[in-house]
């Protein structure tokens, strides 16, 4: 059983994650949030580089592309090679970021906070590497504000997390961000058209270090 799970996690899960993140609605969300990034940027959960095409190359000095899944970073190689701005990968977890304090202008996170094992710890690390006037731009799926949908999310979560690399359907994204010593300065949230109710409730906006 362990061998099957290992095979699934290493060889199949990366493609499942890419598929789950390439729908039309997610693309629209990327178009809204990613071009806001500027300066020296840290993307947390860079994956296979689905956001590269949405950055405004004129605004980016350098992109640090952090992801613990080596297979996904390998799948991003050709996109990185063709990028119009410098990209350096960091194959590690967001809970321990190998970058100095106050070195990042923008941290960007799309569809990643759901999968981080210790999101509070990761967000505190993000705060540490951000400059005091830096910002965290996010677009994440999380717990629905519709009670019936939220009940379904809670029922499905134990099964979903097993096939989706630990992805949690029930995270209260604004609460997690504010509990990690950030102040949210822009927030929108709603269920995205054309996505399943259990995984399509999105929260997006900007936060600044407190
Ligand atoms: C659903 S994918 C999203 C990928 C990408 N952000 C996107 O928008 O398409 C979740 C990503 O979170 C990454 N991840 C999981 N645990 C993480 C952690 N502790 N720190 C940083 N990234 C993590 C996974 O490797 C995966 O690339």
Which CATH number characterizes residue 39's domain? 3.40.50.150
| CA 43/CA 14 separation, integer angstroms | 18
> 168 lies in a domain?
yes
**Is 78 among the domain residues?**
no
Quote the pLDDT of residue 17: 74
Query: Does residue 111 fall inside a structural domain?
Result: yes
Hey, what are 131's tokens?
Answer: 């400059």
- Would you state the structure tokens that stand for residue 21, as one six-digit string? 């993140």
Q: Which residue has the higher pLDDT, 1 or 77?
A: 77
Q: Is 71 in the pocket of ligand 1 (CB under 6 A)?
A: no
Average pLDDT, the chain: 95
pLDDT range class, residue 2, cuts 50, 70, 90? confident
- Return the percentage of the chain with pLDDT > 90, whole number: 88
Q: Is the CB of 45 under 6 A from ligand 1?
A: yes
Element (H, E) at 188: strand 182-191
Provide mean pLDDT across the span 42-62. 98
Give me the pLDDT at residue 22, please. 82
User: pLDDT tens, 153-198?
Assistant: 999 999 999 999 899 999 999 999 999 999 999 999 999 999 999 9
CA-based max dimension of the chain: 49
What secondary structure letter does DSSP report for 51?
Answer: T
Lowest-confidence segment of 13-17, 139-143, 164-168, 196-200 by average pLDDT: 13-17
Q: Is residue 89 one of the residues assigned to a domain?
A: no
**Band of pLDDT at residue 55, cut at 50, 70 and 90:** very high
Cβ(33) – ligand 1 distance below 6 Å: no
Q: Is the CB of 87 under 6 A from ligand 1?
A: no
What span, in angstroms and rounded, lies between the C-alpha atoms of 39 and 100?
A: 16
Domain membership flag for residue 189: yes
112 within a domain of the structure (yes/no): yes
Containing structural domain, residue 158:
23-43+94-209
Mean pLDDT of 80-96: 98
Nearest CA to ligand 1 atom 25: 69
Whether residue 112 is predicted with pLDDT greater than 80 in this model: the reply is yes
Looking at residue 1, its pLDDT comes to 66
> How many distinct structural domains can be found in the chain?
1
Is residue 28, in this structure, part of any structural domain at all? yes
Please tell me the distance from the alpha carbon of residue 119 to that of residue 95, in angstroms, as a whole number.
8
Confidence class for position 18, pLDDT limits 50, 70, 90: confident
Give yes or no for residue 23 having a pLDDT over 90.
Answer: no
β-sheet bridge partners, residue 203: 140, 189
Q: What is the pLDDT of residue 120?
A: 98
- The band of 121, judged by pLDDT with boundaries at 50, 70 and 90, is very high
The preferred substitution site among 41, 112, 202, 204 for testing ligand 1, maximizing ligand atoms within 8 Å of CB, is 112
Give the integer Cα–Cα distance in Å for 127 and 54. 24
Residue nearest atom 4 in ligand 1 by C-alpha distance: 47
Residue 110: inside a domain: yes
């Amino acid at each position: 059983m362990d061998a099957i799970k290992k095979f699934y996690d290493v060889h199949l899960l990366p493609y499942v994650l890419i598929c789950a993140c390439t729908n039309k609605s997610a693309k629209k969300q990327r178009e809204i949030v990613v071009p806001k990034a500027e300066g020296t940027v840290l993307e947390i959960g860079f994956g296979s580089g689905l956001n590269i095409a949405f950055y405004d190359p004129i605004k980016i000095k350098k992109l640090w592309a952090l992801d613990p899944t080596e297979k996904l970073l390998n799948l991003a190689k050709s996109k990185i090679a063709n990028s119009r701005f410098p990209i350096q990968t960091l194959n590690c977890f967001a809970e321990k970021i190998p970058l100095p304090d106050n070195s990042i202008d923008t941290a960007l996170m799309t569809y990643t906070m759901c999968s981080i094992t210790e999101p509070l710890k990761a967000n505190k690390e993000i705060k540490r590497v951000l400059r005091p006037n830096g910002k965290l731009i996010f677009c994440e799926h999380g717990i629905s504000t519709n009670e019936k949908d939220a009940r379904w999310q809670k029922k499905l979560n134990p099964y979903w997390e097993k096939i989706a690399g630990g992805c949690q359907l029930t995270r209260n994204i604004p609460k997690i961000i504010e509990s990690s010593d950030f102040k949210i300065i822009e927030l929108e949230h709603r269920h995205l058209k054309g996505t399943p109710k259990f995984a399509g409730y999105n929260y997006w906006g900007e936060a600044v270090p407190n």
